[in-house]
């Protein structure tokens, strides 16, 4: 987590746009059959292991990742960093009102924080309004909550028009942080069972999550 935050801070100091992805097993499986998504992930300046499933796979391949860094866990520390360094934060996505509520929470925790919220949408019809707002308010760190792969593809599509230093997809993080969706308890996350909690709370995910056993088999059978 600290290493990730340090990297993000350097990205803002360096300037230019940096795409950051929070990669979970669903991302990995999608990237295998979606060359466009694979290209965008490969072009990211930083891919974080969002959850124990990716850390497990990385370790089996001999890559020593210290632990998972989930997007949802990064939002608070990013806000603290922005407040400390005077960086402007922009929360984009989720249903109307959600990002606003989170911005209120973050402002209460960090009274000096410059934070703007906007629901927008991943479709091109929203682009002009969203880009104008980002331009007007200014943003160094942009968190995009459109879900994967829409958020990563959105950042990639507007790469040359986004006046921000860090653009990071955070999936359902705004819903979790405003209490709209409950998170798995710590012991379940540590045991790699967050997927089970998500499935119980959001059964409509079953089709998307059907790739997880295939992921586990691929990881177990991959040459080391």
List of residues contacting ligand UDP (CB under 6 A): 93-95, 121-122, 145-148, 171-172, 174-175
Identify whether the C-beta of residue 18 lies closer than 8 Å to the C-beta of residue 45: yes
Identify whether the C-beta of residue 57 lies closer than 8 Å to the C-beta of residue 221: no
Backbone dihedral angles phi then psi of residue 221, each to the nearest 5 degrees: -95, 0
Q: What is the nearest approach in angstroms of ligand UDP to the Cβ of residue 150?
A: 6
- Identify which of residues 24 and 81 has a Cβ nearer to ligand UDP in the complex: 24
Nearest C-alpha neighbor of 126 from the set 118, 135, 116: 118
Sheet strands (E) in the chain: 18-23, 46-49, 88-93, 114-118, 141-145, 166-169
Q: What is the nearest approach in angstroms of ligand UDP to the Cβ of residue 78?
A: 17
Structure tokens given for 128: 């002009």
Q: What is the nearest approach in angstroms of ligand UDP to the Cβ of residue 37?
A: 12
Q: What is the nearest approach in angstroms of ligand UDP to the Cβ of residue 176?
A: 8
Query: Rounded distance, CA 166 to CA 89, Å?
Result: 10
- Identify which of residues 12 and 92 has a Cβ nearer to ligand UDP in the complex: 92
Identify whether the C-beta of residue 69 lies closer than 8 Å to the C-beta of residue 6: no
Q: What is the nearest approach in angstroms of ligand UDP to the Cβ of residue 122?
A: 5
- Identify which of residues 68 and 122 has a Cβ nearer to ligand UDP in the complex: 122
- Identify which of residues 68 and 93 has a Cβ nearer to ligand UDP in the complex: 93
Helix (H, G, I), strand (E, B) or coil at 191: coil
- Identify which of residues 174 and 215 has a Cβ nearer to ligand UDP in the complex: 174
């Amino acid at each position: 987590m600290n290493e990730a935050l340090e990297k993000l801070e350097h990205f803002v100091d360096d300037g230019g746009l940096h795409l950051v992805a929070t990669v979970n097993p669903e991302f990995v499986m999608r990237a295998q059959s979606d060359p466009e998504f694979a290209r965008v992930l490969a072009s990211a300046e930083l891919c974080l292991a969002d959850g124990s499933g990716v850390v497990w796979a990385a370790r089996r391949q001999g890559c020593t990742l210290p632990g998972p860094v989930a997007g949802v866990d990064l939002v608070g520390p990013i806000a603290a960093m922005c407040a400390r360094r005077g960086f402007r934060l922009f929360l984009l996505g989720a249903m109307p009102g959600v990002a606003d509520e989170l911005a209120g929470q973050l402002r209460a925790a960090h009274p000096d924080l410059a934070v703007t919220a906007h629901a927008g949408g991943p479709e091109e019809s929203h682009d002009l309004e969203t880009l104008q707002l980002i331009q007007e308010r200014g943003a160094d760190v942009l968190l995009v909550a459109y879900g994967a792969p829409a958020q990563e593809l959105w950042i990639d599509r507007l790469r040359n028009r986004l006046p921000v230093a860090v653009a990071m997809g955070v999936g359902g993080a705004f819903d979790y942080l405003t209490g709209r969706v409950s998170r798995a308890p710590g012991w379940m996350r540590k045991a790699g069972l967050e997927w089970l909690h998500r499935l119980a709370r959001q059964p409509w995910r079953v089709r998307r999550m059907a790739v997880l056993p295939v992921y586990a088999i691929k990881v177990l059978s991959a040459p080391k």
